[in-house]
Structure 1
Amino acid sequence: MFRSLRNRNYRLFATGQVVSNTGTWMQRIAQDWLVLELTHSSGTALGITTGLQFLPLLLFGLWGGVIADRYPKRRVLMITQVSMGALALVLGLLAISGTAQVWHVYVLAFGLGMATVVDNPTRQAFAVEMVGRRDLPNAIALNSAIFNGARLVGPAVAGVLITVIGTGPVFLVNAASYGAVLLGLQAMRADDLHPAEPVKRAKGQLVEGLRYVRGRRDLVIILVLVGFVATFGMNLQTTIALVAREVFRTGASSFGLATSMMALGAVTGALLSARRASRPRLRLLLGAALVFGVLEIVTGVMPTYWSFLLMLVPTGIALMTFTTSANATMQLSVAPEMRGRVMGLYMLVFLGTNPVGAPFIGWVAETFGPRLSIVLGGIVCATVPLVVAAFARRRPGGTPDGTGDGARDRPRDRSQGAVTA
């Protein structure tokens, strides 16, 4: 299950991620709390802050992938980590000094989003350089487990610290947490890495990446699946609050418990994915998306609060199985010189479509009830893989595993000297 940790470089990276991700989740809670304090509980201001943090991804997400392909990824990650740590430090100093204003939070949230634009695809593409192709699915699954484990711990720690010492010091703790990642990156053995050759700067590289994906039916299928699941299914995490409040008439503590149950399922799903030794196939992706959709429908119609909580665990497992499989399949299916740009597009679809679907799902929840919004998301997630599978089988030579694309669609991995598909 933890075979990637046998790699010294990945152990250093994973240790830094445990610390840094916990700090990141702490800052998310502290940032929301600070905005509410500065604006006297303005939900609009809270939405603007979140929107500004996602806006750079929508505007510049593809360029982040270009940067990941052009420059050594370890060096790029050091720059992004320093940038994000500096932004957290500034916000912490402003909060502690009592001079913080809401526009400060807006600017710093946008700056954090700009750093994330480059950090996300670079970090994704760097995984294979640390552990190699064989252990990449395991490393991706462990990364997801670390992220969701921090999601369980970080908010709880932040809540205690905010109560005891205020919001400002929480930002400073997060700023310091980036030091763990920087130390890990610095301590890595360069000879043990498997770096892809940086792509020389040239015109049209972003368009080249888009054309590359467009010419690969298997990659397009994955992006379609991820786009629909992220847009309609992953907003379940948003509607949990409405279900807890409006359907079961529970308080904030119950909402927190529901969120933790979803995160528990996500951690479990990531660890189960880490046990698989073989590379994921498209059939697994289609099956995981279908199961997630069905479980989401069942979750939406649960009659009691406790049955609703219990269903969140397997739903989270299915969602994490899908997302980790999609990530690994994308990375293992592309040429090394294209990996940054492809993962930039993947992260744009994975994260960028979520805010697009959130207003629609929110409108459905407000107009027809939160249960229906969950059921509708599940119906979409269960229908799309069936349509994709039917389409793949109707294509000459097509199969649900995507094995009918032909060698002309598969780039040669220059680092391995073998066709990757």
Structure 2
Amino acid sequence: MIPLRRNRPFAFFWSAQLLSNAGTQVSELAIPLIAVLTLSAGPAAMGVLTALEALPSLLLALFLGVLVDRVRRGRMLFWCNIGQGLLIGTVPLAAAFDTLTMAHLYVVTFAVGSLALAYGLAHTAYIPALVTDRRQLTAANSSIALTDSVTAVAGPGIGGVLVQLLTAPVAIAVDSASFLVAAVLQAMGRGPDPAPISKSRFGLSLREGFAAFRGRPGIVAITAGKGSFDFFQWGVIALYILYGVRELGLSPAEIGAIAVLGSLGPLLAGLITTPVSRRFGTTWTAVVAAVLLGGNLLIPFAGGPHLVVIATIGIGQLLLGLGVVYLIIVRATMLQRAVEPELLGRVGSVIRLVEWGMGPLGGLFGGLLGSVLGLRPALLVLGIGTLSAIPWVAVAAARGHLAVPEED
């Protein structure tokens, strides 16, 4: 068994992921900030912006899932990186000429979300081509999650400082460049890129994907639980920046500091998932992870000096991130071991439809709730709603559907 660190294609893939994700974390903070601080967006506008980020999952997930199973996945990842870099680059360019509008942010957010969706589906399906020893899949998924977590720790902090010192457009320009460099790194790795196998008609391809998804009850349970969580989570995302800036009086750097603290949760998940799942199994540890998804409840209860607010919200985000990433790693390993490689794109698209398909509705619901109830009461309602994932995961655990068998 070749160690992952000596697997050259995986190492370059891992490096590209590290770089592009670092930039993405910067933009995920900078774009809402530019909407609030520069364009004076209100709750409804922020709800629309958040909804558009997830709308591709509702409209395009199934189509892109079939497409991923019909093209070379490595090539698709390369062009998705290029496209995202160019699209995001239009935001600082428009800001430099004083022509940036909310409509521009809406279009870029939807287009980048579409490419990010295609990248995410191809990414999960591509890993088994890079890591051919199935015993290494949990370690590979943990490594990717750890990469995402490291960038999640550094990215928001860097983004907050860049926005504070150099303005949001400059921070977004950094993200644009990171995608382009990531595409170059991926091309340099020259990993195996198997030819597509699926050639069946579109309708039949979709039915095959749905059938493969329904036949794995553990994957269904985690996906349904995370989908119910994501509906309320997107509502929280729509209001959080607005609430932090207008009602808590937080600066961009302080919001970045909260994101850094919260991102330690995904980082911890990337480090502990493999040893914890081997020591205690994945069944009831997944239930504990689902309970941690309630970390958003600490947002509306945060108050007092800014340091206390940062610590309170940051700890809640840490717990939430730990739970989410643990469930994602467990499900990704289940998916890659239980589903045939030629079906991974389509099954992944069904998962994305169930989860992120709730995003547009959740974002709009959050924006509407914030307009009607006020930001703090709305965040309390949404935080309670994120606990809706627990019954799905707990029932699957009781039925023995969440165990991940070890490969020989």
Q: TM-score range by the shorter chain?
A: 0.7 to 0.9
Q: Residues 289 and 360 from structure 1, CA distance in 2 versus in 1: closer, same or farther, beyond 3 angstroms?
A: farther
Residue 212 of structure 1, CA deviation: 2.8
Q: Report the equivalent of 1:153.
A: 154
**Residues 71 and 199 in structure 1, CA contact (< 8 A), matched pair in contact too:** no
Where does residue 384 of structure 1 map in the other structure?
Answer: 392
Q: Secondary structure at the match of 1:40?
A: coil
| 2: CA distance, partners of 1:126 / 1:107 | 28
Matches within 5 A, 1:102-181: 102-132=102-132, 133-181=134-182
- What residue in structure 2 maps to residue 409 of structure 1? none
Q: Which moved more, 1:34-43 or 1:172-181?
A: 34-43
Hey, what's the Cα distance between the residues in 2 that align with 1:315 and 1:163?
26
- Inter-partner Cα distance in structure 1 for 2:391 and 2:187: 46
Aligned runs of 1:208-357 on 2, under 5 Å? Answer: 208-232=208-232, 250-252=248-250, 256-275=256-275, 284-293=282-291, 296=294, 305=308, 310=315, 312-357=317-362
Q: Using the alignment, how far apart are the partners of 1:11 and 1:159 within structure 2?
A: 29
Distance 1:89 1:141, change over 3 A: same
Distance in 2 of aligned mates of 1:382 and 1:50: 24
- C-alpha contact 2:16 2:182 (8 A) present in aligned 1: yes
Larger mean Cα displacement after TM superposition, 25-34 or 113-122: 25-34
Question: Compared with structure 1, are the counterparts of its residues 264 and 36 closer, same or farther at alpha carbon in structure 2 (3 Å cutoff)?
Answer: same
After TM superposition, the structure 1 stretch with the greater mean CA deviation from structure 2, 297-306 or 73-82, is: 297-306
Q: Secondary structure at the match of 2:149?
A: helix
**Alignment check: 8 A CA contact 2:222 2:392 kept:** no
1:63/1:420 CA distance change after superposition, 3 Å: farther
After superposition, the Cα gap between the structure-2 partners of 1:152 and 1:372, relative to the gap in structure 1 and judged at 3 Å, is same
The secondary structure found in structure 1 opposite 2:198 is coil
Alignment deviations for residues 307-350 of structure 1 (CA, whole Å, 9 cap, x no partner): 67546544532332122111221222101110111111222233
Mapped partners of 2:292, 2:110: distance in 1: 36
What is the DSSP-based 3-state SS (H/G/I as helix, E as strand, rest coil) of the residue aligned with 2:348? helix
Q: CA RMSD in A?
A: 3.8
d(CA) in 1 for partners of 2:36, 2:244:
21
Partner of 1:415: none
Preserved CA contact (<8 Å) 2:221 2:392: no
Structure 1 Cα separation of the partners of residues 197 and 391 of structure 2: 40
Equivalent residue, structure 2, for 1:25 = 25
Name the CA distance, whole Å, in 1 between partners of 2:341 and 2:57.
23
Query: Contact 1:36–1:42 (CA<8 Å) still a contact in 2?
Result: yes
CA distance in 2, matches of 1:297, 1:46: 22
Whole-Å separation in 2 of the counterparts to 1:43 and 1:235? 10
C-alpha distance in structure 2 between counterparts of 1:96 and 1:403, whole Å:
51
Determine the structure 1 residue equivalent to 2:383.
374
Query: In structure 2, what is the Cα distance between the partners aligned to 1:242 and 1:115?
Result: 26
Q: Which residue of 2 aligns with 1:412?
A: none
| Residues 227 and 350, structure 1, Cα contact 8 Å, conserved in 2 | yes
Post-superposition offset of 1:82:
1.3
Which amino acid in 2 is paired with 1:352?
G
TM, length-normalised to structure 1: 0.78
Instruction: Give me the whole-angstrom Cα distance separating, in 2, the residues matched to 1:291 and 1:11.
Output: 29
Q: Name which structure has the greater RCO, CA cutoff 8 Å, separation 6+.
A: 2
> Bigger shift: 217-226 or 329-338?
217-226
Partner of 1:44: 44
2:63 matched residue in structure 1: 63
- Once the two structures are TM-superposed, the CA of residue 8 in structure 1 deviates from its matched residue by 1.1
1:118-147 residue CA offsets vs partner (Å, 9 max, x unmatched): 211011111121122222222222222222
Please state how far the C-alpha of 1:373 moved relative to its aligned partner.
4.6
1:90 aligns to what?
90
CA contact (8 A) 1:15 1:180 kept: no
- Residue matched to 1:79: 79
Would you identify which runs of 4 or more consecutive aligned residues in structure 1 move more than 6 Å? 233-246, 301-304
Task: Write the distance in 1 (CA, Å) between the matches of 2:402 and 2:37.
Answer: 51
| 2:263 aligned counterpart, secondary structure | helix
| CA distance in 1: counterparts of 2:404 and 2:172, whole angstroms | 48
Could you say if the C-alpha distance between residues 206 and 357 of structure 1 is closer, same or farther in structure 2, counting changes exceeding 3 Å?
Answer: same
Whichever residue aligns with residue 74 of structure 1, its letter is G
Question: Percent identity, aligned pairs only?
Answer: 23
